[in-house]
Structure 1
Amino acid sequence: MGLTGLEIFKQLPKKNCKECGQPTCLAFAMQLAAGKASLDACPYVSDAAREALDSASAPPVALIKIGVGEKAIELGNETVLFRHDKRFEHPTAITIRVSDNEDVKAKVEKINKLVFDRVGQIHEVSMVAITNDSGDAAKFAEAVKTAQDNTAYPLMLVTSDVAAMEKALEVAGANKPLVYAADANNYEAMTNLAKKYEAPLVVKGTDLNNLAEVVEKVVALGYKNLMLDSGATEISRMVADQVQIRRSALKLFRPFGYPTVAFATNDDPMMEAMNAATLIAKYAAVVVVNSAEPEHILPLITLRLNIYTDPQKPIAVESKIYEILNPGPDAPVLITTNFSLSYFCVAGDTEAARMPAYIIPVDTDGISVLTAWAAGKFTPESIADTIKKLGIMEKVNHNKIIIPGGVAVLSGKTAELTGCEVIVGPRESAGLPSFFKQRWNK
């Protein structure tokens, strides 16, 4: 989607002054096109050229930030239609709806507990949406305050009433909540409120044509910190709109160059979960649901993890000392790679054997034992370096390490480099319980 070097060159001053560090303006343009230089390096580029190049080189879907602090989220910055072309950049923000007519504190506390440990990574929901179902501005503001006081998650403020939104932003505006929504009837007032608090603003249409028109009006007011809602309510129409918005954005149709919001809410929690799953798969940056039940949210988080995991980068654990069942100085030291599945298999089978142990995953860029060995990443040298760096042998009163049976060929050189007695373990971690019984003296 970026400009070619020649297209960039046409916008440059063509002085060949070399002040940018390149011998010619054309060479500098080629570096810009490759992402290896910044336009700021050129002291003579005109304001018009800078604006044209910045606009043309902007990502098809703008980057939007919601909230402040550790729980702040980033959405957008997407560049592809299909994940295998590159990757998707920012995972869908799974957002739980809380009505100002219900017990806000109780539901927010329930949302705070939706935290899951999966393959060694902590996953959770992203945002809390407070909806003004009461129609009462004061009650809405109170609900927003209650939610803000009881959760660190960013808030999404949902009302078309400008007066109610103003009161809510007086409470929460400093924390940059997502303002929902500006439409054809209120866009001027909503845009002014969003600008005042520098908060991201959702633009809502009645259909795609209306959405584009309202976006252009909001942008004309000087505000581009936007998200989009096509206004569709039926799942088939919502999916069609999501796809059309993404396709149009990738073709650089700027009114649709923003991340999207979709409401999957449904009285049937199972249908709601299926709708949400469909929208996560089809480009929605924010998906709003009613349910705060773990059995409904965990499948969505798992699906999101699968879709937004970089297909070119395996899931890996940190290369550090892992302690299983409170090991002491007599505990065995197991060597493996930092491919998450390898680590969790070894950890799970060690726990099943009721054997306190230390596990040392060598950093192999997240690939498995045999693959890493074949690629030259799981070697005696890498094992020795990891053992030395982590200081594991200082924690035990023996001089033994256990390596996977599939790489028994590494044992001799590893013993030479580490000074340890290298024991060849089973080829599969499932063999660890019997291995410990037969070959490890506690």
Structure 2
Amino acid sequence: MALSGLDIFKLLPKTNCGECKLPTCLAFAMKLAGGQAKLEECPYVSDEAKEALSEAAAPPVRGVVVGQGAREFKTGEELVLFRHEKRFVNPTGMGVMITTDMSDDEIAAKVEEANKDSWERVGQQLELKLLAVKCTGDPGKFKDLLTRVAGMTELALMPMADNADCLKAAVEVVGDRNPLLYCATPENIDAVGAIAKEAGSPLVLKAEGLDALAELSEKATGMELKDLILDPGTRNLKDTMEALVAMRRAALNQKFKPFGFPIITLPCEETDDSYFEAASAGVYVAKYSDIVVCSEPAAWMQYPLQVEIQNIYTDPQKPMAVDSKFYEIGSPGKDSPVMVTTNFSLTYFIVSGEVEASKVDAWLGIVDSEGQSVLTAWAAGKFVPDVIAKFINTSGIADKVDHRKLIIPGYVAQISGELDEELPDWEIMVGPREAADISTYLRNYVQAG
């Protein structure tokens, strides 16, 4: 936030009412300045103060919503150049392009595969966000294609054309789905800007060179267009990467408002080599591209990019965690083994994967360790005998099995004695130290009866 705590305090009502759950308005102001409170928590703030504070609190990169309904997504709102400074906010939206010169079968196949591009990884859903529909000639064919595609998918749509008539036709067909209109240029900004403003749709600005793009952005904002996305117009890896870095540095470090918008890149228009396209897309994800449009919805291209996005946009200050409960691996019964581990997502998915691979049905208990791994949680007192015992006693697992054997991770074998005392009715068994050994351990467990 640009304003200090004292600057914010001057705009607050100074009633010290406590309805914001803080004792004084000054304390609330300091929380606001640190990004730890929201202005809406103060019921008495004036409209003038709201306007001033909202403008000061706005992220240097504007947030833009594309699409509508269940498949809409938000892009932008970034605050930092490097994730470790705080976190990255809205994950890169991956898109796929289809064009009017493709055959009907090719279009149907791409849309079908794009709809299926969804993977669950460490408890999160990874999905394609956008379908770009490009007019390569006949405006009538473009309108028909948009109509067809809109009926085949709920993904956000990006109609692409270089003339205002095509984009006007696109708005007539899919305007109610909040499409991302592509694109306004210095030559057509008046006509296309008017279409976007009337439709209330987000708009891509494209110009050759950053100076020209900055001028175009200033003109668009002067037309009261707010939901803008920028295309630097570069169509090779070197120039695109340089433009991405320069634009984001200008927006964040220099507060250069013409570049304070999300950025879109189109590696699908840079090369005919699918592998180089995928590699370029990976670079753009890592270097601030908020939307990346590729030519292929194929999993070999999209899944690695989605994993990269997930890794980059994970909050480094907040470990990924799964719910604390017993999970059924396979179809466990009364005699199935009972295991426990921590709720760090990576731990859970690695362990559960190894249990599944063993072909042994099992009960996998996940203890709330605040998202920490086994050794880290043990050292922090989050995965210790009294915590594990409380989890076992309140989970209801004793009613689901006839035996009383509990398998703990090998890395915390030292707690087995104390856990015996906490759970006197249970036999504490020390499992393997490495997840790779779980399959062998469970098969031996079953054979031993």
| TM-score above 0.5, yes or no | yes
Aligned pairs (5 A) from 1:14-413: 16-18=14-16, 29-35=29-35, 36=37, 38=39, 41=42, 43=44, 45=46, 47=48, 50-102=50-102, 103=104, 104-134=107-137, 136-250=138-252, 251-265=254-268, 266-413=271-418
| Farther off after superposition, 33-42 or 327-336 | 33-42
Summarize the Cα distance change of 1:146–1:393 in structure 2 as closer, same or farther, 3 Å threshold.
farther
Q: Distance in 2 between matches of 1:335 and 1:328?
A: 17
The Cα of 1:379 is off from its aligned counterpart by 2.1
| Farther off after superposition, 415-424 or 321-330 | 415-424
The Cα of 1:46 is off from its aligned counterpart by 6.6
SS at match of 2:172: helix
Summarize the Cα distance change of 1:358–1:56 in structure 2 as closer, same or farther, 3 Å threshold.
same
| Farther off after superposition, 28-37 or 250-259 | 28-37
TM-score (norm 1): 0.90
- Preserved CA contact (<8 Å) 2:17 2:24: no
- Preserved CA contact (<8 Å) 1:28 1:37: no
The Cα of 1:335 is off from its aligned counterpart by 0.6
Summarize the Cα distance change of 1:431–1:2 in structure 2 as closer, same or farther, 3 Å threshold.
same
- Preserved CA contact (<8 Å) 2:95 2:292: yes
Q: Point out where structure 1 has 5 or more consecutive residues left out of the alignment.
A: none
The Cα of 1:411 is off from its aligned counterpart by 3.0
SS at match of 2:402: coil
1:254-298 CA distance string (max 9 Å, x none): 111111111111211011112111111110101111122222222
Aligned residue type for 1:236: K
Q: What is aligned with 1:428?
A: 434
- Preserved CA contact (<8 Å) 2:339 2:407: yes
Q: Distance in 1 between matches of 2:197 and 2:86?
A: 34
Aligned residue type for 2:61: V
Q: Distance in 2 between matches of 1:27 and 1:343?
A: 40
Q: Distance in 1 between matches of 2:5 and 2:210?
A: 34
TM-score (norm 2): 0.89
- Preserved CA contact (<8 Å) 1:20 1:41: no
The Cα of 1:80 is off from its aligned counterpart by 0.5
SS at match of 1:70: helix
Summarize the Cα distance change of 1:17–1:434 in structure 2 as closer, same or farther, 3 Å threshold.
closer
Aligned residue type for 1:268: D
For these two proteins, the number of residue pairs brought into alignment is 438
Superposition CA RMSD, Å:
2.6
Aligned residue type for 2:80: V
SS at match of 1:211: helix
| Farther off after superposition, 417-426 or 236-245 | 417-426
Q: Point out where structure 2 has 5 or more consecutive residues left out of the alignment.
A: none
Q: Distance in 2 between matches of 1:28 and 1:117?
A: 39
Q: Distance in 2 between matches of 1:101 and 1:366?
A: 49
The Cα of 1:132 is off from its aligned counterpart by 0.8
Q: Distance in 1 between matches of 2:121 and 2:45?
A: 52
Summarize the Cα distance change of 1:107–1:413 in structure 2 as closer, same or farther, 3 Å threshold.
same
Summarize the Cα distance change of 1:197–1:385 in structure 2 as closer, same or farther, 3 Å threshold.
farther
Summarize the Cα distance change of 1:338–1:43 in structure 2 as closer, same or farther, 3 Å threshold.
closer
Q: Distance in 2 between matches of 1:28 and 1:398?
A: 54
Q: Distance in 2 between matches of 1:324 and 1:39?
A: 44
SS at match of 2:208: coil
Q: Distance in 2 between matches of 1:192 and 1:79?
A: 30
Aligned residue type for 1:421: E
